[in-house]
Amino acid sequence: MGQATPDPTRRRRRRIVGWTLAGLLVVLVGAGVWVATRALVVSDELSAVAELPRNAEAALADGDVDALGDVAVRFDEHVSSAAAAAADPLWRAAEIVPGLGQNLRATRLITEQLDRVSSEVATPVAALTSRLTGGELLVDGSLNVALLSEAAEPLAEARDVLDQTRAAVAAVSRDGLVDQVSRGVDQVGTMLDQLGSAVGGMADLSAVLPGMLGSDGPRTILVMLQNNAELRSGGGITGSFAEIVADGGAITMTRQADSSEFRRTVAEILPVPESTTALYGDIVGRYVQNTTTTPDFDLSARLASTWWEGLTGHRPDIVLAIDPLVLRALLPVTGPVTLAGGKELVRDGFISSVLVAPYLHREPKEQTVFFQDLTERFFEAVMTSSAAPSAWISALRTPIEQGRVSVWSADSAEAEVLAHSPFAGALARHRDAGENAFAVYFNDGTGSKMDSSLAVELGSVTGSCRADGRPEVSVQVRLTNEAPADAGEKWPFSMTGSGRWGVTAGNIATAVAVAAPEGWFFGGTTVDGERRASVDVEDGGFPTSATEVELAPGESALIDVRFVSPDTVEREPALLHTPLLYPAEEIRLSSLSCD
């Protein structure tokens, strides 16, 4: 049989198909390479974006508005580049490829949302911040309430955009995503949550702050000066008060008062929850000095308002509580403050000058004169300072984070905003800290200023000593009386209390209350390893256990308060505590003791 002759037409078709397939393969490979290069661009740009929140935080901490603006510019540059790369038509086409497509789609979606955040949030908010922290906010010693009012609308719009972008990122399906992309989506979501919380708080405050500063008419503000040398849950004893009036941004001081000027009462001036009385005694509503014994600042402010009305005949519109360490934080901004007699207050030695020496060397009436002079001169220094607002932001950042500044308003709309702000007080800080947060509150029982000699250490650990294996948390508090051995003999009544309230002169008595997250159960209290009776109640929604120790000079006590988890999830506890004179040292615990 003869060999068939090849068909030229068929050969030509095969060549065309072959070259077409080869061309298509080249196109697909080229497209894949192109998409891969786009993906690398996106990856690099988003990696750069991930570093920026830390830069922004550092800029805020330093009060460096220029650096914050630079962060916004770089954010825009990196996000715009990433969004442009992900918007490539070939990228969109590749989203239909099984396996690869869902990862490309998720990446494109988050870059689009970040691009929107850049143009509609970061850039305008940075510009607004520049105005607020520039020379426009303070005019002739008064706050520019008109500028603050103007900030409300753009901040509200930025909050709305962030709400929408957060929802869009949260809706991105994680199905089929590789770990790197899935983590990236989660990181962007976390970043947007943090930014949303910050901008949302700014938007809320900008809506009410102008009115609080008198944009619609005069507002009276009662300032409670807490003294941490005699501890209370919210900070310290409320022994000094000042009333200021804000009118159109202009602020003037109209009156000061010492705790001795308030009438004494045998009954509570306002109803106090039974749980609060069980923990702290019946003193909360009976003595003006104990206004912040409760961590509930709403109650503290209402008590203070009632006390002030009894003294002056009118209630304040706003109550502001601060402590002396807020004043110390402001000294780099105001500069040294010169008191009557020529004494110059500077940051170094401030605690000794303000919270120790007056009680060692001055009589009670002289102490009142000293503190009222200090308050008046600090107020004058604040109101005449020429420092940039960014310097104030930097100075106040740490005191606010430590809970040393609390604000309450009698206006319900303002009160609602403040209740969800960093200024809402200790109880609200505990609520906002999350389901793993425990709070430790200190209240002096000595009746004097011995807490300037109190050292505090705090620690916590999770484990279980139970047959059912349910997790427990141990919150440990070590207190040490660092007063000299002869303090009871040499120090005056103002420092030691001279035993008037049942505490030996020179000793320090402290009531320690530990509040667990909602739903937890009490697990018992020990002091130096010995079982100790405690008051266990739910106060303000939190299971709270309280006990008291008395320490002679040089003595220490370790208080161990335990709580049992309502579920089987082992959590890492976070500790909050009463603002102290000196930083609390950390107790490092490796495991839960079952002895």
* pLDDT score of 30 more than 60: no
Geometric angle at alpha carbon 144, from 143 and 147, rounded to 5°: 140
Q: What is the DSSP letter of 118?
A: I
Residue reference for tokens 């949303």 = 196
Residues making up the chain, counted from first to last:
595
Task: Please tell me the distance from the alpha carbon of residue 125 to that of residue 119, in angstroms, as a whole number.
Answer: 10
Higher-scoring residue by pLDDT: 216, 50 = 216
Strand pairing class (235-247; 337-338): unpaired
347 has a pLDDT exceeding 70: yes
**370-422 residue pLDDT tens:** 999 999 999 999 888 877 777 787 888 899 999 999 999 999 999 999 999 99
Asked if pLDDT for residue 581 goes beyond 60, the answer is yes
Residue 1 — pLDDT band, cuts 50, 70, 90?
A: very low
Integer CA distances (angstroms), 164 to 103, 121, 170, 558, in order: 22, 12, 10, 49
Q: What pLDDT was estimated at residue 468?
A: 87
CA distances from 538 to 94, 147, 273, 275 (A): 58, 44, 11, 7
Higher-confidence position of 245 and 92: 245
Beta-strand pair 406-409/472-481: unpaired
pLDDT at 524: 96
Report the relative pairing of strands 556-564 and 574-577 from DSSP bridges. unpaired
- What local confidence, expressed as pLDDT, does residue 263 receive? 87
Q: How sure is the predictor about 109, in pLDDT bands with cuts at 50, 70 and 90?
A: confident
Over residues 7-22, the mean pLDDT reads 48
Instruction: Read off the pLDDT of each residue in 275-298 and give the average, rounded to a whole number.
Output: 96
What local confidence, expressed as pLDDT, does residue 78 receive?
64
**H helices of 217-356, where?**
274-280, 297-312, 324-334, 350-355
How far apart are the C-alpha atoms of 330 and 249, rounded to whole Å?
Answer: 20
Predicted confidence at residue 17, as pLDDT, reads: 41
DSSP 3-state assignment of 217?
coil
Minimum mean pLDDT range among 5-14, 315-324, 502-511, 570-579: 5-14
Does 261 score more than 80 pLDDT? yes
* CA distance linking residue 41 with residue 119, whole number of Å: 20
Q: Please indicate whether residue 119 or residue 496 has the higher confidence score (pLDDT).
A: 496
* Diameter of the chain measured on Cα atoms: 132
Q: Which of 202, 119, 123 is nearest to 156 (CA)?
A: 202
Query: What tokens does 486 get?
Result: 């002869």
DSSP assignment of 45-79, as one string?
HHHHHHHHHHHHHHHHHHT-HHHHHHHHHHHHHHH
From residue 294, alpha-carbon distances to 289, 297, 431 in Å are: 12, 7, 15
In terms of pLDDT, which residue wins out, 338 or 70? 338
Question: 264 or 474: whose pLDDT is higher?
Answer: 474
Q: Look at phi and psi of residue 481 and say left if phi exceeds 0, alpha if psi is from -120 to 50, else beta.
A: beta
Alpha carbon distance 454, 506 (integer Å): 11
Helices (H), 171-243: 179-212
Question: Does residue 360 surpass a pLDDT of 90?
Answer: yes
Q: What is the pTM of this model?
A: 0.85
Q: Tokens at residue 101, please?
A: 């497509």
What residues pair up with 252 in beta bridges, in sequence order? 245
Instruction: Burial-class residue 388 by CB neighbours within 10 Å (0-12, 13-18, 19+).
Output: middle
Q: What kind and span of H or E run contains 80? A: helix 65-86
What's the pLDDT tens digit per position in 45-71? 556 556 656 666 666 556 565 666 676
Residue 60's pLDDT is 59
Tokens 């503000």 -> residue: 221
How many C-beta neighbours within 10 Å does residue 385 have? 16
**Block residue for tokens 């003791």:** 593
3-class DSSP string for 447-489: CCCHHHHEEEEEEEEEECCCCCCCCEEEEEEEEEECCCCCHHH
Number of H helices, E strands in the chain: 18, 20
What does the pLDDT look like over 413-452, one tens digit per residue? 999 999 999 999 999 999 999 999 999 999 999 999 999 9
Task: Report whether 294 contacts 284 (CB < 8 A).
Answer: yes
State residue 206 phi and psi, 5-degree precision: -65, -25
- pLDDT of 47 reads 65
Show the tokens assigned to 488.
Answer: 């009871």
| Per-residue confidence (pLDDT) for residue 99, from 0 to 100 | 58
Percent of the chain whose pLDDT exceeds 70? 81
**What number is the average pLDDT over the span 176-203?**
77
Token couple for 572: 């890492």
pLDDT score for 22: 36
- Cα three-residue angle 252-413-225, rounded to 5 degrees: 40
Predicted confidence band at 590 (pLDDT cuts at 50, 70, 90)? confident
Cβ partners under 8 Å of residue 484, min gap 6: 490, 553
Confidence of residue 458 (pLDDT cuts 50, 70, 90): very high
Tell me how many degrees the CA angle 319-325-330 measures, rounded to the nearest 5: 90
* Band of residue 87 on the pLDDT scale cut at 50, 70, 90: low
Q: Is the pLDDT of residue 366 over 60?
A: yes
**Rounded mean pLDDT, 548-557:** 98
The mean of the pLDDT values for the chain is: 85
Please report the pLDDT score of residue 269 as a whole number. 96
Q: Which residue has the higher pLDDT, 38 or 280?
A: 280
Residue linked to tokens 């299971």: 543
